Structure 1
Amino acid sequence: MFIAYVVVAVVLALAVAGSATAKFRHDERVTAGLSGVGVPESWFKRLALLNYAGALGLLIGIAWRPLGIAAAAGLTLYFLGALGFHIRAKDAKGMPMPAALFVFSAVALALAIASA
């Protein structure tokens, strides 16, 4: 289980860090998607910082499992919230990415708990 957690944690951390970087750089696709579901622009940097914190927590969690569990739980809730925004806005086109990251975060959480 530990090796599976390491693989999932690294891949998820890279994906989440990439998403955070796009938010900081105000990438047009990302900002249009966020604005389209009603996220105020003042939240973009805060959301990016949460993404970076989650990514860093997953990576540190490889060595210190309690942090990995907390980071995976936080990212699972973060992407559940993202899905909620897309559902509320009836934005089916924007749902696949947060849905995939939600599932991936939940898998990381399950693997972190199982290998603790």
Structure 2
Amino acid sequence: MYITAAVLSVLLALVSLAAGAPKVLLKGDVPAQLQAHMGLSPTLVRFIGAAETAAAGGLIVGLFWQPLGIAAALGFTAMMIGAIGFHAKAGDYSDPKTRGGSMAPSS
């Protein structure tokens, strides 16, 4: 069980780091889209990126110190719930062109 949890923690940390680093640096399409489409300030985009990067670090260190891993997982979960709320508010889930593969097609 520990091996499965460790592998999944590392994979989630890598994805979180890959998503957070461009936001911290304000490089690439995603930070620009968050600023233009969702109306987020550059400071908030950087904060989100820093939180994703910190979650990645917390998940890795949490493999060795469990309380930090639990805190990182809870914080990451709260951040993702907030992201769902922001995207719903922006209408990303109602328009088939903007929701991508996040939801099944609706008729």
Q: Which amino acid aligns with 2:6?
A: V
Higher relative contact order (CA 8 A, sep 6+): 1
Q: Are the counterparts in 2 of residues 38 and 85 from structure 1 also a CA contact under 8 Å?
A: no
Alignment-derived partner of residue 7 in structure 2: 7
* CA apart distance, 1:94: 4.8
1:11-47 C-alpha deviation (Å, 9 max, x unpaired): 0100111111111232332123312123222212211
Percent identical residues? 35
RMSD: 2.0
Bigger helix fraction = 1
Distance in 1 (CA, whole Å) between partners of 2:26 and 2:79 is 19
Q: CA deviation at 1:96?
A: 5.4
Secondary structure of 2:40's partner?
coil
Aligned position for 2:33:
33
- The TM-score normalised by the length of structure 1 is 0.75
Distance in 2 (CA, whole Å) between partners of 1:80 and 1:7 is 23
* Residues 43 and 94 of structure 1: CA distance in aligned 2, closer, same or farther (over 3 Å): farther
Within 5 Å, which residues of 2 pair with 1:98-113?
Answer: none
1:81 matched residue in structure 2:
82
Q: Which amino acid in 2 is paired with 1:10? A: V
How has the CA–CA distance of structure 1 residues 75 and 96 changed in structure 2, closer, same or farther, with 3 Å as cutoff? farther
Q: Give the number of the structure whose alpha-carbon radius of gyration is greater.
A: 2
Runs of 4+ aligned residues of structure 1 deviating over 6 Å after TM superposition are none
- Output the TM-score relative to the length of structure 2: 0.80
Gaps of 5+ in 1: 100-116
Structure 2 unmatched ranges of 5 or more:
none
Q: Which moved more, 1:34-43 or 1:47-56?
A: 34-43
C-alpha distance 28-9 of structure 1, shift in aligned 2 (>3 A): same
